[in-house]
Structure 1
Amino acid sequence: MFLPVSEKVSTIKARPSRVAAGALLVFAGLTVVPTTPARAQNFFEELFGIGRAARPPQPPRNVPVQPPPQQPVDPAAPAPGDGAETRPSVPAPPRQPVVLRVPAEDNVAGQELLLNGLNGSLKIERNGSAYTALMSLPGTKISQPTESCTVKLNGGKPVSLSAEGRAQGVSRFSASSAECPLRLEILDGSVLATPLGSGPACTFTAADCETTPSGLWGPGAASLIPQAGEFDTARGVADKAVRDNYKIMTQRSRGSDVRPIVQEQAAFSSDREQACRTYAREGAHGYCHLRFTEARAIALATRLGANTATPTASNTAPRPRRSRAPVEGMNPDAPGAEPFADQ
């Protein structure tokens, strides 16, 4: 079917008018868009659904919200925290003192000990339940302080020792000598001597000799150096025992009672350094520091009421196992061996 020429011309003329109308609509839409960047951004967010249009609808304010329905509770069911699965809270047990092995009172009987491992002589003998001591005290001459001297206690005769119990954990004895009364504390392989007179020195006028017997009487340095490794291990155990017992004592004390304990602990460290600095080659083996520290740990445990008869820590280093020497003929794989020689 063909249109007349006049109708074709009218159709062609109508198309430009439609294009112009569409352009006017686009221009009108652009004139509505805000000119500022923020408003333009909001317009495009609303246009593409990424602005407020994408947010979920908010409920109106001041409208009560219905709580979710609760599940019915079974009256026979145990309440939370009850039942067989609940374990009662058990308070932590109080810290107990650390107890080291207490030396036997006769562990030094028959041994000859030296003052600071250098000179003098102390030998304790046991006769049944009684103990005696033979002592030679080193010192300096009163008339010539630059010259050394040695005087025998009680004229070289055995001095009776009186037992004084274990007030500080270790065995104590007293030597009632008129010239030089002493208190002897029995440590492990050594004896700690303390003068009971008015001062640290004992004067023997007839012998023109002044002695200072206070200190640790123990073995010589030559026999201690090979055991330096064992002493170092035991010293670590003893130091820890002193720290733990000291902490327990301060925790059990109240207010004003703590200060004397702190001062006593500081005095112990100072006294140990002063007493052990004169021991023969102390820096090479540490024997004196070890024995002083063990005595301090035992004394603290005793004051804390611990049972010192049952040690809770071992301050004795384990001895290394002796390697067995190879037996000839027992290893068939050894060079030159003939395992089937006797067959």
Structure 2
Amino acid sequence: MFLPVSERMSARKVRRTDRPARAAIAALLALAGAAFAPSTPARAQNFFEELFGIGRAARPPQPPRNVPVQPAPPPAEPGALAPGEGAETRPSVPAPPRQPVVLRVPSEDNVAGQDLLLNGLNGSLRIERSGSAYTAQMTLPGTKISQPTESCTVKLNGGKPVPLSAEGRAQGVSRFSTGSAECPLRFEILDGSVLATPLGSGPACTFTAADCETTPAGLWGPGAASLIPQAGEFDTARGVADKAVRDNYKIMTQRSRGSDVRPIVQEQAAFSSDREQACRTYAREGAHGYCHLRFTEARAIALATRLGANTATPTAANTPPRPRRSRAPVEGMNPDAPGAEPFADQ
């Protein structure tokens, strides 16, 4: 049967229009055929499970083995803030202010009845107490005015006890002064020693009748022979005193403002210089360090006093701890080396 030319042209256009659709259907059928191929039945099953959300795809993922599962957090109480909330509105607690370090202040009686030497070398100073009053007997070493190359000695107040006037504790340690017109002095009571400072117009005291000029300024303390066996203890105590000076000095500079800091820095530098100058003449100072220790302790106490600390209650011990007694090793039970301290006590 022959169709008219116009109808045949319309049929050809329809067949040309359906070609893309038929090609897409053929591709889907080929893909489905490959999924259902006998060689890969598992892949076909997985394809449809993933496609329709059944089987393994419908189950939630399982955590790996041997991995602890974190428990769910407990329910929050009503009105409680969630973690991380409100942190900006909470006021921060300010750090407590640093407090001065206070060393033990020596008592007035710790030098009473002792024979002290200027720089541990010569002269003599002996302070005695009678009731609440204190007196001093002092022999001053010096050089002759007429012959400066020759040495001399002169007794203060003709060798009689000189009354001492108490001046309180303006710098933390006890102070006394002598009323002698020939050589007025100030005594600062340290631990086992006395720091003497002339109150006259210069560092020297002149005794014209005795043809002797003396320089009593410096540390009056024990002789070097009695100090060397304690060198280890002095070194430990010096470390404590040095740290107290540094800490108190930092607190003082932090409390000061502007132009007030510069005088404090200059004073600290002058202290180090004065200590070196005063202690370099102490007998065998390099072997025991006694003079440096006493000067440093006095400086730490003075700074704590100026900072308003209660010097009656020490916060740091300026006496070294007692050395621990070593224990003998137990044979067969001590795993440490022979003669060594047990590990539990280290």
TM-score normalised according to structure 2 size = 0.69
Task: Tell me the residue number matched to 2:157.
Answer: 154
Task: Tell me the residue number matched to 1:204.
Answer: 207
Structure 1 counterpart of 2:187, from 181, 184, 188: 184
Structure 1 counterpart of 2:285, from 282, 285, 296: 282
Q: Deviations over 1:161-195 (max 9, x none)?
A: 00000000000000110100000000000000000
Task: Tell me the residue number matched to 1:91.
Answer: 94
3-state SS of the aligned residue for 2:261?
helix
Distance 1:271 1:75 in 2: 67
Distance 1:82 1:299 in 2: 50
Map 1:191-340 → 2, pairs under 5 A = 191-320=194-323
Q: Deviations over 1:139-165 (max 9, x none)?
A: 000000000000000000000000000
Structure 2 gaps of 5+ residues are 1-75, 328-346
Distance 1:163 1:129 in 2: 10
1:319 positional shift = 3.1
Distance 1:104 1:76 in 2: 63
Distance 1:228 1:280 in 2: 13
Change (3 A) 1:90 1:147: same
Change (3 A) 1:254 1:150: same
Distance 1:118 1:323 in 2: 38
Distance 1:75 1:101 in 2: 54
Output the amino acid matched with 1:139. G
Aligned length: 249
TM-score normalised according to structure 1 size = 0.70
Task: Tell me the residue number matched to 1:33.
Answer: none
3-state SS of the aligned residue for 2:109?
coil
3-state SS of the aligned residue for 2:305?
helix
Q: Does 2:80 align with 1:78?
A: yes
For structure 1, which segment, 292-301 or 310-319, has the greater mean C-alpha deviation from structure 2 after superposition? 310-319
3-state SS of the aligned residue for 1:155?
helix
Q: Deviations over 1:261-286 (max 9, x none)?
A: 00000000000000000000000000
Task: Tell me the residue number matched to 1:130.
Answer: 133
Structure 1 gaps of 5+ residues are 1-73, 325-343
Identity %: 92
Calculate the aligned-residue CA RMSD, in Å. Answer: 2.0
Output the amino acid matched with 2:312. A
Q: Does 2:145 align with 1:142?
A: yes
Q: Deviations over 1:19-60 (max 9, x none)?
A: xxxxxxxxxxxxxxxxxxxxxxxxxxxxxxxxxxxxxxxxxx
Output the amino acid matched with 1:78. A
